[in-house]
Amino acid sequence: MAPAEAQEVQVLGHRFCNPVGLAAGFDKHGEAMDGLYKMGFGFVEVGTVTPEPQEGNPRPRVFRLVEDEAVINRYGFNSHGHAAVERRLRARQDTQLRLTRGGMPLGINLGKNKSSADAAADYVAGVQTLGPLADYLVVNVSSPNTPGLRDLQGKAELQDLLAKVLAARDALPCTQKPAVLVKIAPDLSTQDKQDIASVVCEGTLLMRVPRGCWPGMGGHAPHAAAPPQLGVDGLIVSNTTVSRPSSLQSRQRSEPGGLSGKPLRELSTQTIRDMYSLTRGQVPIIGVGGVSSGQDALEKIRAGASLVQMYTALVYHGPPVVQAVKQELEELLREQGFRNVMEAVGADHRC
């Protein structure tokens, strides 16, 4: 198989020319997508976008932990708001349609305003305003920097929120409706993970059939009982962590906020492994957290991710890291006997 074909992934109802994407938080306001695609990303996720513009938390609010190749941020969903981002995306809609057809889809990450009393209404507004411009939408309920946000990962709260979000998505007037993914935290108890898995696999939510192919199964369902119809189209695993590993060296390590980069890698990969297992490989996963090499990417893919994202690696290694990760991933796939990325998805669970 040609190198380009080996990196292709068919998932979430779209073709991704390569599995390495840019995580949300880098292009929060939808200002740099075209340049980011030219860096070699297979997909770009903008946001988090809130309904109304908001400043976020006071500065300083981002800290480099250079010795640890990590970052702590407490941005607090600084956003230009739905209207501004919608205008920017609308102005380049034809360009994005061409990119998507070429295997470079666009994701939009949705959040709530800090002062909002109705979180579900904020996410529904995001679906209605930005959904027609997205190939996939992300319900971000896992940032540690918005008070009360992570409470939305609770079973009852998540069920209620997703029922409303999915109803709004299904009511969109566009022909190609966006996939809906939920972005979760790495700081979850075993019970939390089980609850989230039960919600995203719940057939009674809206009785929807999953999009795209069964990840890593060559288009075929896993060997199990008849698969449940999925409530959502995928998971993003994971957001930043509020934990502080004892290995951290930087003086900045005690700053409040979410930790990303190398110290998050193993925790996020284990969370991917857990969620893939709990959902029986039936829910596509985008893996994010500490990816700075092809080896890091493949670890997440073998653990169950169909796609991966990076962000903090750009801080320490610059734009060339994108091509380096893709090239090393391609070499490792070949060395380990995989013909393509999709064959490697969830491979650790089949050993």
- C-alpha span between 351 and 345 (Å, rounded): 12
Classify 124 as helix, strand or coil: helix
Determine how β-strand 258-261 pairs with β-strand 285-288: unpaired
Torsion angle, alpha carbons of 287, 42, 25, 173, to 10 = -100
Structure token digits, residue 152:
């939305």
Active-site annotation, residues? 143
Q: Torsions phi, psi of 72, nearest 5?
A: -110, 130
Q: Which residue in 64, 82, 85, 83 sits closest to 73, CA to CA?
A: 64
Tokens of 114: 């800090």
Residue 292 CA to its chain's centroid (Å): 16
**Single-letter residue type at 292:** S
Contact 103, 43 (CB under 8 A): no
